A and B are shown apart, each in its own frame.
Chain A
């Protein structure tokens, strides 16, 4: 039996098509995944992301623990209200999960991790914590809503408590503010501006309904996936996992080797990978022939073969795009084996779309 979020009844009442994802019954789409996608690119959409895992850290060794846990440097969080994207790595340098960590106060941090990886993540954190004086508390008393799109912040702010409205609108990307158990961060997983809001269940249900009543379009996991693929935001389990390093997953920028004396888990393995030479990269593909690229398909380049980690249809570009793990030297044209037929594609630097605009050079729009 899959878990249901507190908004499940609202999803069903609004004709959501429900699928299981990471052990949760979640809306795949309501009336139209394509319309939901466009709503986020053009105005505002809302996503129930309560399946994601919220973990609060407290105790005198919280920072010390994060210094060892994270591949990015939590020392960058100079003050309360700042957030940081990071991976946590195993000792082979593989990605245990990706997350955002926020500094809420002195020795007080909030980590938001994926749904499907909850059990392994909490187990790994407990192991890394060892004898540190840190309390790792999984918060299942919250609901989490993503409000995304160019109109999202202006639409959502008036629906927050009066004390939160101005501070929420003043947030810069990756910053957060908290008031009376309501947490607002200027983050998301769509390539658009917006907020992710974590709050108690009853006011959360009320906020969800108020956002919908104010004109935000309810969006499901289908639109979430096409939006994040256009924005080239990795999906854990598909674009990277415990067997792949951030260095071959387009995430080298999230690894902080400075300060040089910070001994984070996985560091030695990554340094060895760099010394031995990194041979693969995660990059973008645009299909020039007709068809749709999908996860697992083989890619043939002049520099050798690779494979697609995430592929699909871009509603904004109206053609197929993909993330693929390829030899580092691969550039220019390549071929993708789509059900036995070799189709022409072009290797591009992701992202494909951000803030409503196509960023891929010379992308011919149309079919």
Chain B
């Protein structure tokens, strides 16, 4: 059964977003997404300082089979990528909501977070996609 933690926000493209106390957000891909992609062998992350608009392709996750874009869930500036993924891309598979986080962003507008799906709405999306 795919996990959808209640404390996170979600996008239609299967990214998750977690608000941090300092106003930044942490972004990753969902359990559903990592399962659909298969075992990851390479993750390409943006450099710190890069500005992204909502929906920009900002990272790439590659399985043995294919490369897939990860889109910015919010407009903002990249603070850091997860340094552990350079040598252990498989963390995205084994712990998508924890050690397998992709990057931290400073959103241009903190209120934009409210526009993302909550866990109930994302679970409905998964159910609808079958």
Interface residues of A (CB under 8 A from B): 17, 28-29, 32-34, 222, 225-226, 290-292, 294, 312-313, 315, 320, 339, 367
Contacts and interface: CB of A to CB of B under 8 A. Distances in A.
Contact of B60 (A28, A226, A312, A339): A339
Give me the 6 closest cross-chain CB pairs, A-B, nearest first.
A313-B41, A292-B62, A292-B42, A33-B64, A34-B39, A313-B64
Interface in B104-122: none
Contacts of B48: none
A222 B64 contact: yes
Contact of B65 (A222, A290, A315): A222
Interface in B44-73: 44, 60, 62, 64-67
B44 A226 contact: no
A312 B67 contact: no
Contacts, number: 41
Among A225, A291, A292, A294, the most chain B Cβ lie within 10 Å of the Cβ of A292
B86 interface: yes
Contact of A34 (B64, B67, B87): B64
15 contacts: A17-B38, A28-B38, A28-B65, A33-B38, A33-B39, A33-B64, A34-B39, A34-B64, A226-B64, A290-B86, A291-B44, A292-B41, A315-B64, A367-B86, A367-B87
Given A34-B39, A222-B38, A292-B42, A313 B62 contact: yes
B129 to A, nearest CB: 16
Given A33-B64, A34-B64, A294-B67, A313 B42 contact: yes
Contacts of B87: 367
A292 B44 CA distance: 10
Given A33-B38, A290-B86, A313-B42, 13 more contacts: A28-B38, A28-B65, A29-B38, A34-B64, A225-B64, A290-B44, A291-B44, A292-B42, A294-B67, A313-B62, A313-B64, A367-B86, A367-B87
Interface in B61-92: 62, 64-67, 86-87
Contacts of A29: 38
B38 A290 contact: no
Interface size range of chain B in the complex:
10 to 19
B8 to A, nearest CB: 26
B44 A312 contact: no
Contacts of B60: 339
A225 B41 CA distance: 15
A304 B29 CA distance: 40
A189 B96 CA distance: 34
A225 B42 CA distance: 17
A15 to B, nearest CB: 12
Nearest to A312: B64
Nearest to A34: B39
A256 to B, nearest CB: 36
A367 B90 CA distance: 13
B105 to A, nearest CB: 21
A313 B43 CA distance: 12
Contact of A290 (B42, B64, B67): B42
A292 B39 CA distance: 14
Contacts of A17: 38
A294 B68 CA distance: 12
Among B39, B86, B87, the most chain A Cβ lie within 10 Å of the Cβ of B39
A225 B63 CA distance: 13
Contacts of A320: 42
Nearest to B90: A34
B45 to A, nearest CB: 11
Nearest to B60: A339
A320 B86 CA distance: 14
A64 to B, nearest CB: 43
Contacts of B44: 290-291
A207 B101 CA distance: 44
Contacts of B62: 292, 313
B104 to A, nearest CB: 21
Contacts of B41: 34, 292, 313, 315
A20 to B, nearest CB: 13
B65 A292 contact: no
B90 to A, nearest CB: 9
A36 to B, nearest CB: 10
Contacts of A222: 38, 64-65
